[in-house]
A and B are shown apart, each in its own frame.
Chain A
Amino acid sequence: MNIQISNLSSEPIYLQIKNQLKAAIITGEMKEDEQLPSIRYLAKELRISVITTKRAYDELEAEGFITSVQGKGSFVSRQNEELIREEQLKQIEEALMEAIEKGKLIGLTIEDLQKNLEVLGGHD
């Protein structure tokens, strides 16, 4: 698995880690029940603070992507299809919102965008 930290990014480091691990889980690069690197090992390898990695893991656990077992470590949760679908819908929504905002800038209405979408979709 690869994790890259960018210091130029305005995104906080814990979020960069969280998003990269989440992507690895959603794409199936990390499989169900697979063990994640320990918090301290990841912190040492990336040379970031333990608190930063812990925060990324805590949030992934709160969102249901991983499960932590006291004394054993963290594992990829049994994949909840619903959860993955929801996450992907969220990303699609965000991309559409961006399209709407950009459309507004040059005066496109929702109807214009719909037409655009149909044309693009029709090519498939």
Chain B
Amino acid sequence: MEYAIEVHQLIKRYEDFTLGPIDLKVPKGYLIGYIGENGSGKSTTLKAILGLIQPDSGKITVFGNQVKDNPQLLNKIGVVFDNLFLPGEMKLKEVGKYCSLSFTTWQSKQFEEYLHQFKLSPNKKVKDLSRGMKMKLSLSIALSHQAELLILDEATSGLDPVVRDEILDILLEFLQNESHTVLISSHILSDLEKTADYIAFLHKGKLLFMEQKDQLIEEYGLCSVSNEAMKTIDPEAIVGKRSHAFGQELLVKRSLVPESMELSKPSIEDIMIFIIKGEV
């Protein structure tokens, strides 16, 4: 398998928080959801990948090369972060010109088309955009310099469902090219969950797993049982539990419980919550 990003033994230490060591390989051609609670280190990882922060140790390559030695690699990476690094007084029609100075592969016509598609007026100023519009502008920029890899950091959090839906369409369109890859970090996946190929799960600075989403959903099951019934279940099978006044809710490994047990499909969010909060 070819990888768009390879992270090897990445460590970044802060006074009150340590990220890593992280080993993460992002396969080319897929949509990867990088999930974890706020403060689990998702943004730190993404910034390290982009060479925006200097790790204490470890090696990171994008398309086989290190970003810090090959700044032209940034042409191939479309970045959408939580905030927009553009002067507030700048008009959108000037943004294109500004970007053409940063990216040697800038496609001004494509950028104009995206502005049109997203109904962003070229005469509007950056500071007058709503959060959803800023996000769309950011995505328009990311998609207008022939990027092969999109990195989105919490980009869709806090947007309304209609805008999220539009963005999902754009990402799926981008992925029609099988050499294109999307890495998206989020603390809520919701609508993206269905289309994600892989889920990487970060918890307290450590990567708990990176697995195919389908496998995750098939591997685990949710059930509600009485306190007595829980005693008959193999303790190894229980991944997480939520005890309440009237019984137990369990996240179990399907392979370790009797087939007759009625299990429902968990969402990725269920798995995340049970693993974090339901430590057995």
Contact = CB atoms under 8 A, between A and B. Distances in A.
Interface of A: 10, 12-14, 40-41, 43-44, 47-52, 55
B78 interface: no
A47 B214 contact: no
Contact of A52 (B168, B175, B214): B214
List the 5 closest pairs (A to B, CB-CB), nearest first. A44-B172, A49-B197, A51-B197, A40-B176, A47-B194
12 contacts: A12-B214, A41-B176, A43-B172, A44-B172, A44-B176, A47-B172, A47-B194, A49-B30, A50-B29, A50-B31, A50-B197, A51-B198
A41 B178 CA distance: 11
A50 B214 contact: no
Contacts, number: 44
Contacts of B178: 40
Chain A interface helix/strand/loop/mixed: helix
The bracket for how many chain B residues form the interface is 20 to 34
A43 B176 CA distance: 9
B173 interface: yes
| Interface-centre pick from B31, B197, B198 (highest chain A CB count, 10 A) | B197
A40 B180 CA distance: 11
B26 to A, nearest CB: 14
Contacts of A13: 214
A39 to B, nearest CB: 9
